């Protein structure tokens, strides 16, 4: 991270349940940079490294509308269509899946996220890191990336409802 900008998430777990979550932000959230081992590629102002929630490991897989509970994230260069598959270790978590998923995306160095819904805790993390979230449902990852490149995806402006993890019926 640059200029000392930092987002720390503290999660207290008791008997496999999250009982407390605290955020600590050092620096201005609007200027926070994401950790990446590659410099962000931009062309014409478009963001290029995009995290997409997915049911499968390929571009023709269906987009999963549940960011925190998707099976995989495809980290796609929207120009070249080269992608990396990242397992979502939070998919079966008993709680805090959105927070863990958001951290996975941050660690992958994404510049934008395409999904269907984002809960309030994950939303806070992504917003603090300056990552825009775009809405897409009932489509393939490849079609979602195409819509992103065409500028036709809706920016998600607010968090969706909180979910109770796997404990909820």
pLDDT for 86 beyond 50: yes
pLDDT for 11 beyond 90: no
pLDDT tens digits along 14-71: 787 766 666 555 444 444 334 333 444 443 346 589 999 999 999 999 999 988 889 9
Crossing angle for the helix pair 97-107 and 120-128, to the nearest 10 degrees: 20
pLDDT for 84 beyond 90: yes
How far apart are alpha carbons 84 and 52 in whole angstroms? 11
Q: Cα(first)–Cα(last) distance of the chain, in Å?
A: 40
Q: Identify which has the larger pLDDT, 144 or 13.
A: 144
Tell me what the pLDDT averaged over the chain comes to: 79
Domain locations along the chain: 33-159
- Fold type of domain 33-159: Nucleotidyltransferase; domain 5 (3.30.420)
pLDDT tens digits along 144-153: 999 999 999 9
pTM for the predicted model, two decimal places: 0.70
3-state secondary structure of 33: coil
Torsion, CA 143, CA 148, CA 149, CA 152, rounded to 10: 100
Give residue 6's pLDDT.
59
Q: CA separation (Å) from 139 to 46, 72, 87, 116, 156?
A: 21, 15, 20, 11, 17
pLDDT tens digits along 128-141: 999 999 999 899 99
CB 23 within 8 A of CB 94: no
């Amino acid at each position: 991270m640059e200029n000392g900008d930092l987002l720390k998430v503290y999660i207290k777990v008791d008997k496999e349940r999250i009982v407390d979550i605290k955020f600590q932000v050092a620096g201005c959230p609007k200027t926070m940079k994401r950790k990446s081992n590659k410099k962000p590629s931009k062309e014409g102002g478009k963001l290029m490294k995009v995290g997409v929630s997915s049911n499968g490991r390929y571009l023709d897989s269906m987009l999963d509308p549940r960011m925190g509970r998707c099976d995989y994230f495809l980290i796609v260069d929207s120009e070249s269509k080269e992608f990396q598959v990242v397992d979502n270790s939070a998919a079966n978590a008993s709680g805090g899946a959105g927070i863990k998923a958001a951290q996975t995306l941050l660690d992958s160095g994404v510049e934008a996220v395409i999904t269907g819904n984002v809960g309030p805790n994950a939303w806070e993390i992504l917003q603090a890191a300056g990552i825009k979230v775009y809405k897409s449902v009932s489509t393939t990852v490849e079609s979602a990336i195409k819509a992103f490149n065409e500028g036709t995806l809706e920016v998600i402006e607010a968090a969706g409802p909180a979910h109770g993890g796997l404990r909820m019926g």
